[in-house]
Amino acid sequence: MNIMDKDYAIKMHRELWTWLSENPEKHKWDWPKWKFHGGTITQIESDCFCCQYSRGIDGACNSSCPIVWPGGRCANTKDTGLYDLYVDAVCIELRSRFAMQIANLPENEDV
């Protein structure tokens, strides 16, 4: 039984990543909506709503992710996934651009 609704996971994913695109010098754990920052959202595994949702379904992040990632995964073993590119970006303009791409990834209709 999943403890997180798919629509909620996608909504919060988009909110978090939009905020990151607007605050490219920050990290996921800096999001002001987390409870430990005074917000109302309980921190989740990997600070990722999609991972939390997926693991609640089948224990595997990639096979049931509610978001469609380029290449099928958020991160790659070769560090070329979109999330990897975001993490490794050294200029804030590029981090902002990758974060907005992540925020706007399409919904996975098969999950």
Name the pTM for this structure.
0.90
Comparing CA positions, the residue from 24, 46, 47 lying closest to residue 37 is: 47
- At 35-73, the pLDDT tens digits run 999 999 988 877 889 988 887 766 666 678 899 998 888
pLDDT at 1: 40
pLDDT at 111: 82
Instruction: Please calculate the CA angle 7-8-10 and round it to the nearest 5 degrees.
Output: 65
Q: Count CA atoms within 13 Å of residue 92 on its CB side.
A: 8
Comparing CA positions, the residue from 83, 8, 21 lying closest to residue 53 is: 8
Tokens at 13, concatenated: 């994913």
- At 15-42, the pLDDT tens digits run 999 999 999 999 999 999 999 999 999 8
